[in-house]
Amino acid sequence: MTDKLVKKAQKGNKDALLELILNKQDEYYRLALSYMKNEEDALDVMEDMIVILYEKINTLKNRESFYSWSKTILVRCCYDVFRKRKKTVFLEDNAIEEWSDPDNDYLQSDTHIDLDNALAMLSPQQAEMIRLKYFHDLDLKTIGAITNTSLGTVKSRIYYGLKKLHHFYRGEQDE
């Protein structure tokens, strides 16, 4: 089904592209929010992604990889916003921000704050890989494509990041 929609979208069918985006809109939003840290910026980068998808859909060679391709574009849109702001912000920004949406249980939960604090102990790259793998349920190959990182490096960063978290929370014990 995805293949047919992508084919239609590549021929200029805006409704097909919209359907593809709407099929994964929650995943796109959560991914953008994990980078941007606020709802408005997340929605802005999603809009940027949609414009790029519309302009570049005909360059997509492998129709089956539409969703990983589009998520890569979304992450790059996030990075573009950071560059435009003249500062670099990684996923594990140590500052826990005030969230503007009191109705969003995920953003207000103690668990979210605890996870942010835990990930702040890792290198920015380790935290980013762990967030993409476990918060967004992305496979290692997709994480590598999104972050422009080799598969071995993705595996290594996740492994050593989890090991560091384990040692911190369970204590330094011989394995």
Query: 65 and 4 in contact (C-beta within 8 Å)?
Result: no
Distance, in Å, from the CA atom of 113 to the CA atom of 14, rounded to the nearest integer, reads 39
Flag whether pLDDT at 99 surpasses 60: no
Taking only the tens place, the pLDDT of each residue in 64-95 is: 999 999 999 999 999 889 888 765 445 544 43
Mean of the per-residue pLDDT values of the chain: 83
Flag whether pLDDT at 159 surpasses 50: yes
Question: Domains, the chain, ranges and CATH?
Answer: 1-89 (1.10.1740.10), 91-175 (1.10.10.10)
Q: How many CB atoms lie within 10 A of CB 154?
A: 25
Mean pLDDT of 135-156: 92
DSSP state of 65: G
DSSP state of 131: I
Phi-psi region of 37 (alpha: psi -120 to 50; beta: other; left: phi over 0): left
Flag whether pLDDT at 113 surpasses 80: no
Query: 68 and 146 in contact (C-beta within 8 Å)?
Result: yes
Quick one: what percent of the chain has pLDDT higher than 70?
81
